[in-house]
A and B are shown apart, each in its own frame.
Chain A
Amino acid sequence: MMRLLRALVQRWLVFALGVAAWEVAARGATDPAFPPPSRIVAKMYDLWFSGPVTGLFLTEGARADILPSLTRLATALALGTVLGVVAGLALGRSAHAHAYLDPVLQFFRAIPPPLLVPVFIVLFTVGAQMQVSSIVFSVIWPILLNTADGARTVERLQIDTARVFRMRPAERLFLIIIPAAMPKIFAGLRLALSLSLILMVFSELQPATENGIGFRLYDAYTRFDYQEMWAAIALLGVLGYLFNAALMAVERRVLAWHRGVRGVTA
């Protein structure tokens, strides 16, 4: 019990002190650009979480800001993951296909995705399609290239064993290649997740956007509403934290068999 308490204090003391210091400093300075944390939290509550119990406390604002963003993010991540993993597996299993396409794919990955947002705006005009495609473009490359890398480097012994057991191609794919590529796929997903958040926000920061957290942020920017901007930033931090935690939990579960499982962001 004492031990637990001490660990808790060690872990949270500096954090609590930091927040307290920020609160005191911000109250003392009364600079509108740096509101105290208590006011930021209050603003978040007002904007998004003061709704009725029946709506899970979500306000009208939450339905306009958070839900559209999350829907687009989820759609794009699902699309990007499916496309990236399928293409990556195909590419990883053929040394020739890989040799032909690797430079092209590396080039696409190297393009900073925000630069293509204007292109997607021209193609789809501002809206969900443009936003989803921007996110898909950012997530597909790390997933694809990591999957290909993972599928390429299945151990010789495993492939030979599969041959000895006369496994059918489908069995070989699902029982050997995909599990072997899994750690790499998850490494790609972690990179993809942080890129997807960047593109989610950036695609919503475009003028003429209609909803989303990025839209709220841009709207607050045009009105010099610092409190609302801080609230949006904090909300994005919380969401980023939750998504990351969820991905790590899935990864730990899926890769439980893999001895190299650690919370490493490499």
Chain B
Amino acid sequence: MIGRRRRAADAAPSRRIPRTGLIVRGATGVAALVAASELLGRAGIVHRDFFPPASAVLLRAAELATDPDFLTDLRITLTAWFLGLLIAIAVAVPAGVLLGSVPLVNTAVQAIVEFLRPIPSVALVPLVALLLGTELDMKLTVIVYASAWPILYNTVYGLRDVDPLAKETLRTFGFGRLAVMWRVSIPATAPFIATGVRMAAAVALILTVTAEMFGGFGDGLGVFAAQAQNVPGGIDDTLAVAVWAGLLGLAANAALVAGERRLFRWQYHGHSH
């Protein structure tokens, strides 16, 4: 329900302004923001070390694209992010299917889930850092812990939302439980799972960076940003990394949305009258 309603809403507003108009206005907005922060930075109202002009930050961000150290950091962060998300999907989707389709398991485990989920994942960072060091293992542990929940919950809710009539119909044709699951429930749940994965991707990036910043050694965007703050004028570097991370987050989100649109086209057609 929720997923569908949101899609129907997504489609509505762009109707008033044509697509090219949206792009032009969006670009103007970005340019205006850059110009405003440039002025603020140059006018000397705020100190250069606190608030560098946008051009300096963007220039630095562009420079970083050819900096081998930064590229290593970028690769390390992307690897942890991607692997962590992959493991979270591999763990959370089957768990969600189990919880969503076997009511007894659901009631039995619910208390444990409700107890574990509210723990803010970042609270685990120091403990896991002591146990596993600050390398990939530690990052993966906290990334998976943080990003498994949205996937798990969306899978469970998606399964609960499956049209009972469709299931009944297949059952009357003599299909077994697993066949109904495979042919009706899983395809109907897939868009929900995809939404969960998209939410998880954002959380996973946050936890990757958090874990790296806490460790403070080794490689990764978070390490780069954390080390920059100890250098005079390092704020340019920190902000340049933030620009990169923001663009990566946007790109991942856009890719996932495009994937959803392509995979679940039937759903968009059905509901965006």
The residues of A with any CB-CB pair to B shorter than 8 Å are 7, 10-15, 18, 33, 95-96, 98-104, 106-108, 110-119, 121-123, 149, 152-153, 194-195, 197-198, 200-202, 205, 214, 217-218, 220-221, 224, 226, 229-230, 232-234, 236-241, 243-244, 260, 262, 264-266
Contact = CB atoms under 8 A, between A and B. Distances in A.
Given A241-B114, A244-B118, 13 more contacts: A11-B110, A100-B28, A104-B33, A107-B30, A112-B210, A114-B210, A114-B222, A115-B222, A118-B238, A201-B122, A221-B129, A229-B126, A238-B118
Interface string B1-35: 11101100100110011000110011111101100
Contacts, number: 195
A153 B1 CA distance: 16
A194 B229 CA distance: 26
Interface string B115-128: 11111111111110
Contacts of A243: 118
Contact of A118 (B119, B129, B226): B226
B185 to A, nearest CB: 18
Given A112-B206, A114-B210, A236 B119 contact: yes
B111 A232 contact: no
B154 interface: yes
Contacts of A149: 9
B29 A101 contact: yes
A111 B246 contact: yes
Contact of A230 (B21, B127, B253): B127
Contacts of B138: none
A118 B110 CA distance: 38
B213 interface: yes
Interface string B216-244: 00000110011011000001001101110
A218 B123 CA distance: 10
A241 B21 contact: no
19 contacts: A10-B104, A110-B249, A110-B253, A111-B243, A114-B209, A118-B229, A122-B229, A122-B235, A152-B12, A195-B206, A198-B210, A200-B120, A221-B127, A237-B118, A240-B120, A241-B115, A241-B118, A260-B1, A262-B1
A103 B32 CA distance: 12
Contact residues on B (Cβ < 8 Å of other chain), bracket? 35 or more
Contacts of B245: 110-112, 115
B108 interface: yes
B163 interface: no
B229 A201 contact: no
Contact of B130 (A123, A202, A221): A221
B107 A260 contact: no
Given A100-B29, A264-B2, A112 B209 contact: yes
B202 interface: yes
Given A14-B112, A33-B130, A201-B120, A122 B222 contact: no
A226 B25 contact: no
Contact of A202 (B112, B122, B131, B253): B122
B49 A111 contact: no
B26 A102 contact: yes
B109 interface: yes
Contacts of A229: 126-127, 130
B109 A198 contact: no
